[in-house]
Structure 1
Amino acid sequence: MVIDFNNLKINNLYPHTEFEKKVILFLEKWTSGSETVDVQTSGSTGAPKVFEIEKRKMMNSAVMTCNFLQLKEGDTALLCLPVEYISGKMMVVRSFERKMKLLVEEPSLQPLEEITAEIDFCAMTPLQVENTVDKLHLIKNLIIGGASVSESLKKRISHLNTNIFETYGMSETLSHIALKQLSPKAEDYFTAFEHVEISKDDRGCLRIFAPDVNSEVLQTNDLVEIKNYNQFRFLGRIDNVINSGGAKIFPEELEGLVKKEIANEVLFLGLKDEILGQRLVLVIEGQRSEKLIERISQIPFEKNFHKPKEIIFVDEVPRTPNGKVNRLELMKMLS
């Protein structure tokens, strides 16, 4: 199904699948007289729930993304994310705001399987991107969200001419408030949208004030390095910081370094230690391999205390229902 927002006639849209019916149902609610729409949470941090969002703020969010990517009237967009959640709804709203043509494809791990023509704009999860690298040349602008982008995936897409960005945001910011380019140029810093103010609290964690989408100052637990008024680098979650012998270690940074060398899932953890407080260990998903251990020993860690005291192999890393690694559960396993 193709929806032309330059000439929108909902009554002329005829759905052939349950997903297309959901998209049309959302459009009917979006174009109704109500000031809000219902959005469902994914349930990754608790029981799924439904909450109301102001349409005006969703439009403001859409404008920020479209302006940043310089999307224009008549461009084509691809919807391949569930429309129950904010990620899918915002793709519809962006198409509505910029009067684009929206291609509606059933969400799947291979959303480009039936696509043959070029597309100006699309949003995907990292797993969808993993399965469609060979067809990404058909997309001019791609944003990746829902989970962090692995170093191995960054390598696979770094040579492409497609403008690919990693997103930073949360449900309170109505999708994202900053983008970081991954291809064809790889950037280290996220760039916040216009009218978004960033700062740090006493812990070094990011604070966000984006009045166009949320009237409150949003306090995160994300440790960041702020480069200037609108650029920041994510260092890691403060919940994950390891204190080993008085030295603070950001596991996400070390994991990124190791993942440049090996394809396995890896996690750095701090296990209890009587002398150090926490002992730095590296957990690798997969069969024990002396070859991998040798490669890791050759990694030029910035500090000597960044080298793991122990390397542990596990058959499978525990994950949350939406596929994210579960550090807490892994800690319990190892303890």
Structure 2
Amino acid sequence: MVPTYDKVHNRFKLDGMHYSHDDLQEVGYSLVKEGDPYEIQVGDFLLNWLDHKDTVELKTSGSTGDPKVITLPKQVLVNSAINTGDYFNLEPGDRGLLCLPARYIAGKMMLVRAMILGLELDTASPAHHVLFSDIKPYDLCAMTPLQLRNALSRLDCFNLVIVGGSPVPTKLIEDIQEKKTVVYETFGMTETASHFAVKKLNHHTSESDKYFQCLAGNKVTLDDRGCLVLNSNHLSEVPVVTNDLVNLHSDTQFEWLGRIDTVINSGGIKLHPEKIERKLSPLMNRRYFIASEPDEDLGEHVILVVETEEDDFDESVFEVLDTYEKPKQVYLLPNFAETETRKVSREHTLALIK
């Protein structure tokens, strides 16, 4: 029997306590009234999830455009949770840690997975440095790349970490290769109730581990722009068209190249900022991103924006780049603009240098 949104698994625990459907409503009220800011977000979502509606409103993070509110059937979130549980062989009674804001889909889905799959979920403040108990390993935790980097010394406290929100830096991928914790990068969006594909970042066993693998029931195609289109019989009634440029290896496997709305056309050569960023990643120890600005001769040229308080920058790192990839201008800023989910807002950061 397929679980439904109006039921709470009898093995579900929140911060060590068993709660029924009705009990959780009281918990939600209590958290909203008396909780810390991150707990208020948890309480808000619990109250929305447990109301009599069959849909839930979700706010996008704004990392790829202006934040917006969308509405999804609650059963879509349940289907996503089941998919994740099946793929990673999660069992009732497994332990999970919520350390992402419950205001957005990644945090909300940790709560849904716990309620639907019967996980024992602990909550922690969604800080860059996550504070958590190491008495017993967690079976599942979702993190941002920055949280993962800051948790490297205690990563053995997790059996499985899924990481998303932004591309995982090359240096961080190198640092987790010898860790016993299995780490996956996720691919998805609010409109798909978080991830619909994952990519293994360590413990590789085959060549295909290097690509994103769709979870069951999801298939991908390309539109005429070369962008990914998701066809899913349980996440959306219509195809989900993205602005993500990919190479397809099958109808369930793909390699992410970058976003079509960030492609730089420099002298007729199309450059992917994300590809350039990956080349620079092992050589950079600060936040940075590649963008462009107008060029009278080339149309556009590449620029590098770095978050630093220093006044100069060692451009020898550009030796790893091809000629057209090398930035013509470097901008140094003390602080990047961020979205509410602490992702870098490229648009608002670029406005600071103009």
> In the aligned structure 1, how far is the partner of 2:22 from the partner of 2:168?
36
Q: Partner residue of 1:62?
A: 81
Q: Partner residue of 2:324?
A: 305
Q: Partner residue of 2:202?
A: 183
Indicate yes or no: 2:97 matched with 1:78: yes
Q: Partner residue of 1:257?
A: 279
Q: Partner residue of 2:166?
A: 147
Q: Which runs of 5+ in 2 are unaligned?
A: 1-13
Give the C-alpha shift of residue 232 in structure 1.
1.0
Q: Partner residue of 1:46?
A: 66
Is the 2:280–2:317 Cα contact (8 Å) retained in structure 1?
Answer: no
Indicate yes or no: 2:156 matched with 1:137: yes
Indicate yes or no: 2:133 matched with 1:114: yes
Q: Partner residue of 1:319?
A: 337
Q: Aligned match of 2:144 in 115, 122, 125?
A: 125
Between stretches 88-97 and 218-227, larger displacement belongs to 88-97
Q: Partner residue of 1:217?
A: 239
Give the C-alpha shift of residue 252 in structure 1.
0.7
Q: Partner residue of 1:173?
A: 192
Tell me the percent identity.
32
Q: Aligned match of 2:263 in 228, 237, 241?
A: 241
Give the C-alpha shift of residue 72 in structure 1.
1.4
Indicate yes or no: 2:185 matched with 1:162: no
Give the C-alpha shift of residue 26 in structure 1.
4.5
Between stretches 122-131 and 7-16, larger displacement belongs to 7-16
Is the 1:36–1:53 Cα contact (8 Å) retained in structure 2?
Answer: yes
Give the C-alpha shift of residue 146 in structure 1.
2.3
> In the aligned structure 1, how far is the partner of 2:283 from the partner of 2:61?
32
One-letter code aligned to 1:315: L
Q: Deviations over 1:145-193 (max 9, x none)?
A: 2223223332332331111111111111011111111123395321111
Give the C-alpha shift of residue 73 in structure 1.
2.0
Q: Aligned match of 1:228 in 245, 250, 258?
A: 250
Q: Partner residue of 2:23?
A: 11
> In the aligned structure 2, how far is the partner of 1:166 from the partner of 1:146?
9
Does the residue aligned with 1:228 lie in a helix, a strand or coil? coil
Does the residue aligned with 1:202 lie in a helix, a strand or coil? coil
> In the aligned structure 1, how far is the partner of 2:147 from the partner of 2:349?
26
Does the residue aligned with 1:152 lie in a helix, a strand or coil? helix
> In the aligned structure 1, how far is the partner of 2:163 from the partner of 2:273?
22
One-letter code aligned to 1:239: D
Is the 1:288–1:313 Cα contact (8 Å) retained in structure 2?
Answer: no
Q: Which runs of 5+ in 1 are unaligned?
A: none
Alpha-carbon spacing, 1:211–1:3, altered in 2? closer, same or farther (3 Å) = farther
One-letter code aligned to 2:232: A
Is the 2:213–2:253 Cα contact (8 Å) retained in structure 1?
Answer: yes
Alpha-carbon spacing, 1:213–1:136, altered in 2? closer, same or farther (3 Å) = same
Q: Aligned match of 1:282 in 304, 307, 322?
A: 304
> In the aligned structure 2, how far is the partner of 1:115 from the partner of 1:175?
27
Is the 1:259–1:266 Cα contact (8 Å) retained in structure 2?
Answer: no
Alpha-carbon spacing, 1:136–1:242, altered in 2? closer, same or farther (3 Å) = same
Q: Aligned match of 2:217 in 186, 192, 195?
A: 195
Between stretches 65-74 and 32-41, larger displacement belongs to 32-41
Q: Structure 2-normalised TM-score?
A: 0.81
RMSD: 2.9
Q: Deviations over 1:172-216 (max 9, x none)?
A: 101111111112339532111111111111111111112201111
Q: Deviations over 1:3-61 (max 9, x none)?
A: 567x8475398768615576466446545654233434445543564x54322111110
Alpha-carbon spacing, 1:2–1:190, altered in 2? closer, same or farther (3 Å) = same
Between stretches 264-273 and 154-163, larger displacement belongs to 264-273
Give the C-alpha shift of residue 258 in structure 1.
0.9
Alpha-carbon spacing, 1:195–1:47, altered in 2? closer, same or farther (3 Å) = closer
Between stretches 126-135 and 253-262, larger displacement belongs to 126-135
Between stretches 179-188 and 84-93, larger displacement belongs to 179-188
Give the C-alpha shift of residue 122 in structure 1.
1.0
> In the aligned structure 1, how far is the partner of 2:238 from the partner of 2:46?
28
Is the 1:10–1:28 Cα contact (8 Å) retained in structure 2?
Answer: no
Does the residue aligned with 1:82 lie in a helix, a strand or coil? coil
